[in-house]
Structure 1
Amino acid sequence: MDRRIGALDLLRGVAIAGTLGTNIWIFTDPGGPGALLGFGADAGGVETFLRFLSNGKFLGLLTLLFGVGLELQYRSAVRRGLTWPGRYLWRATLLLAEGILHYVLIFEFDVLMGYAITSMIVAYLIGRSERVVTAWMVAAGTLLLAMVGLLTALLMTMPAGGGTAAAHPSGWLEQVELRLRHAAIFRAELLFIVPLGIVLFLLGARLMRAGVFEERGARLRGRLIAAGIGAGVPLNLLTSFAGPAWFMVDRYLVAPLVSLGLLALITSIVLRMRSAPGLLRRGFTNVGRTALSCYVFQNLVAGALCYGWGLGLATRLDGLRPWWVPVAWAGICVLFMTLSSLWLRRFDRGPIELAWQWAYQAPWRRTRAGGGQAEQVSGAGR
């Protein structure tokens, strides 16, 4: 059991660091977050490859882990004889509130809102029959395919470089105002996150039941590695270099296949390790144990480094792109590995997790609080 839970913490830590690997290109773009919506000219070969390493894969991995966390929450509720989804809907509501604050105050492309909405839907499906679950997965997957296909066809008709965005406002209050004024544009990704999330949440729950994190799941992990790494990585590389028009296919269809391979590969490595965890593994694991805090604060730090209200490095170091970007990513990752490790010496959860848990328990102060690893898994961010 400890080894399985350890694999989940490590996976979440890798996923949190990986999402920063995607988001760091947004923070360091002198055109600001709006530049991502421009679907303009192709990036250079080196930058395209560096983006390929993270784009969509860790979003998919974290989404799968949210499904695992929801399954653990469901099992915990059943063991304790609680009504399901019951209190879980309050958890999802708190996550939605956190996502809204994160979007307005820190980052345009927050994913917590999408996870909250998805969890409210999937909470009513997690205990249903295999037939019902399969039907929902097929329906959500079909909707996602249709939307990605239509938008990809539209992008193919657009002239290259025709959507370049203006520079991002330098002041923090200006950024907040921009997010509020253009919420429909910046939050459009929810249209893709929710159906993708339904599929991956339910798939994560199924993989959990199939024993993917246990010794008995060796054959299943082998198949996932073959599909996700053996087939998914070459296909993902192809779509990454196919041009901006293939962005949706690359991020929402191909990259999640690689996510399955990553989940299986990392879990297999953890299950085979017999020695004590090294410094790097402990660092990622501690980030995973404080995932929500690290997700929010790493975006805040990236904004302070890159935006005009902070050091403004996105503009100052534009001439050094793409080389300085992975250096910034690595520096922020090391910072939060260190901070999370120091924090966990005194506390068993991250700072935001502690506040979030207090808010979750507030309506039921006189009842025995639910806790443990199941809550930590489903409390993670993008």
Structure 2
Amino acid sequence: MNNRIGFIDFLRGFALFGILAVNLPYFSKPMYLVASLGENSNLLDSIGSWIVAFLFESKFYVLFSFLFGYGFFIQLENSPETSSGNVYFRRIFGLGILGILHGIFLFIGDILLSYAILGTVLWFLRNKNSSWLLKFSLFCIILAAFCRIGMSLAEGEIKSQLEADLPRLLDESRKAYLGGFWESSIQRTKDTILSIPFLVLYQWPSVLSMFALGFYAAKNSVFSNWENTKPGFKKLFPWMLTLGILGNFIYTLHSRHILPENQNVFLKILFAITDTFSAPALTFSYVYLLGNYYHSEKSLADRIWFEVMGKLSLTCYLGESLVCSWIFCGWGLGYFDQVGSYIVLILTVPIWVFFGLFSFIWKRMFSLGPMEWILRSWTYWKAIKIL
């Protein structure tokens, strides 16, 4: 791709680490236990869960969504073929198929299908001006706040309905994921279907907001010249960092049940609003700090590792799911629901490093990652040269 921006690939590589940290608990135990009151039995595991909540949860799918919108605009600019509706929607359809297969065979929290569905909306935003895109992004993030308020107010009713069936659901989940490949796939399909309302209400408005914001950023060449962008980001950084730290501290206390349960309606609404806006604020802070690091001499030795993973982000994302499924499912090593949150968090590092090494070696031989090659060949309806 012409005029490829190295920092965008760098951010994708970084985002893969954060996404893996958030996803790993859902591979390692029944989804009903993740972030539940009874998830952890000791302080070390609780600390691991708190770290994930504070630093990673809700921050990295936001970043990846922003980068998706940014990348979409770059593709339109650099490839006349991509501006064809047939080519674009063939790509989106292929992404959706990968998402469905991912959700059935590897991971209940797949985001690719959501990207494919919401990506159809992004197509119709391609000719909107910058002001409109910012207003639309703000509208979607406000919509996200209202959706999360609704979910928060309904939380008590949902928990009461789930409580009676929880022992049976946990037992079914453990047996299935510790069984064979097809047993785990059937259970994963059930869990994926059950998670759809959460994905739609909790993630979709924020994803669409970040799509539009990423489109705006690319249209205005925000990352093409960091020295021009840095002063504006620097002014916002103290405010975003303060909101990000305080808001995510509150989110961690609330989501990990450190605060008293059964809060009043006002507090529930406050927590929902705080969660909605503080996660993107901390993500902005990450981007600003990483931008300064990337554009300094300090990053010269290691930026290649992040960049190469960013170029193979689809392969790495699906590959991480394959490795995690192998570690925890019965058709692999069979560690499902046998490893605490602290160890699960530590596992993030070697898995991410493994795919960094894989990406580095692969890119020395091939121009595209294997999954990138499949999707691009489908998109253009011809076998793309990979050497």
Q: 2:31 aligns with which of 14, 30, 33?
A: 33
The residue type equivalent to 2:214 in the other structure is: G
What is the aligned partner in structure 1 of residue 182 from structure 2? 173
Paired with 2:228 and 2:355, the residues of 1 have a C-alpha distance of: 34
Q: 1:313 aligns with which of 335, 339, 352?
A: 335
The residue type equivalent to 1:193 in the other structure is: Q
Matching of residue 54 in structure 1 with residue 56 in structure 2: yes
For residues 81 and 230 of structure 1, do their structure 2 counterparts lie closer, same or farther at Cα, with a shift above 3 Å needed? same
Matching of residue 333 in structure 1 with residue 352 in structure 2: yes
* Residue pair 2:68, 2:214 contacting (<8 A) in 1 also: yes
3-state SS of 1:126 partner? coil
3-state SS of 1:11 partner? helix
* Residue pair 2:103, 2:109 contacting (<8 A) in 1 also: yes
For residues 3 and 354 of structure 1, do their structure 2 counterparts lie closer, same or farther at Cα, with a shift above 3 Å needed? closer
Matching of residue 185 in structure 1 with residue 194 in structure 2: yes
3-state SS of 2:117 partner? helix
Paired with 2:2 and 2:87, the residues of 1 have a C-alpha distance of: 26
Offset, 1:92 = 1.1
* Residue pair 1:232, 1:255 contacting (<8 A) in 2 also: yes
Paired with 1:111 and 1:55, the residues of 2 have a C-alpha distance of: 14
User: Which runs of 5 or more structure 1 residues have no equivalent in the other structure?
Assistant: 372-382
Offset, 1:4 = 7.4
Paired with 1:311 and 1:81, the residues of 2 have a C-alpha distance of: 45
3-state SS of 1:241 partner? helix
For residues 82 and 151 of structure 1, do their structure 2 counterparts lie closer, same or farther at Cα, with a shift above 3 Å needed? closer
Paired with 2:2 and 2:235, the residues of 1 have a C-alpha distance of: 24
Offset, 1:193 = 2.7
3-state SS of 1:312 partner? coil
3-state SS of 1:59 partner? helix
What is the aligned partner in structure 2 of residue 108 from structure 1? 108
* Residue pair 2:90, 2:379 contacting (<8 A) in 1 also: yes
Paired with 1:331 and 1:203, the residues of 2 have a C-alpha distance of: 32
* Residue pair 2:133, 2:213 contacting (<8 A) in 1 also: no
Matching of residue 197 in structure 1 with residue 207 in structure 2: yes
The residue type equivalent to 2:170 in the other structure is: A
TM normalised by structure 2 equals: 0.82
For residues 81 and 16 of structure 1, do their structure 2 counterparts lie closer, same or farther at Cα, with a shift above 3 Å needed? closer
Offset, 1:322 = 3.0
Matching of residue 154 in structure 1 with residue 166 in structure 2: no
Offset, 1:178 = 2.1
Offset, 1:54 = 1.2
Offset, 1:41 = 4.3
What is the aligned partner in structure 1 of residue 261 from structure 2? none
* Residue pair 2:68, 2:211 contacting (<8 A) in 1 also: yes
Q: 2:372 aligns with which of 314, 334, 353?
A: 353
Comparing 182-191 and 101-110, the one that deviates more:
182-191
For residues 87 and 236 of structure 1, do their structure 2 counterparts lie closer, same or farther at Cα, with a shift above 3 Å needed? same
Offset, 1:334 = 1.3
Spell out, residue by residue over 1:224-280, the C-alpha distance to the aligned partner (whole angstroms, 9 max, x if none): 433432321221122111235879667654312211221222122212x2367224x
Offset, 1:207 = 2.2
The residue type equivalent to 2:74 in the other structure is: L
* Residue pair 2:108, 2:191 contacting (<8 A) in 1 also: no
User: Which runs of 5 or more structure 2 residues have no equivalent in the other structure?
Assistant: 258-267
Matching of residue 277 in structure 1 with residue 300 in structure 2: yes
3-state SS of 1:345 partner? helix
Note the 1:356-371 alignment, pairs <5 A: 356-362=375-381
What is the aligned partner in structure 2 of residue 236 from structure 1? 248
What is the aligned partner in structure 1 of residue 283 from structure 2? 259
3-state SS of 2:377 partner? helix
- Superposition RMSD in Å: 3.1
Matching of residue 303 in structure 1 with residue 305 in structure 2: no
Paired with 1:81 and 1:328, the residues of 2 have a C-alpha distance of: 41
Aligned residues: 357
Q: 2:68 aligns with which of 54, 62, 66?
A: 66
Give the share of equivalent positions with the same residue, in percent.
Answer: 22
For residues 352 and 81 of structure 1, do their structure 2 counterparts lie closer, same or farther at Cα, with a shift above 3 Å needed? closer
3-state SS of 2:254 partner? coil
For residues 85 and 127 of structure 1, do their structure 2 counterparts lie closer, same or farther at Cα, with a shift above 3 Å needed? farther
What is the aligned partner in structure 2 of residue 217 from structure 1? 229
* Residue pair 1:239, 1:249 contacting (<8 A) in 2 also: no
For residues 275 and 243 of structure 1, do their structure 2 counterparts lie closer, same or farther at Cα, with a shift above 3 Å needed? closer
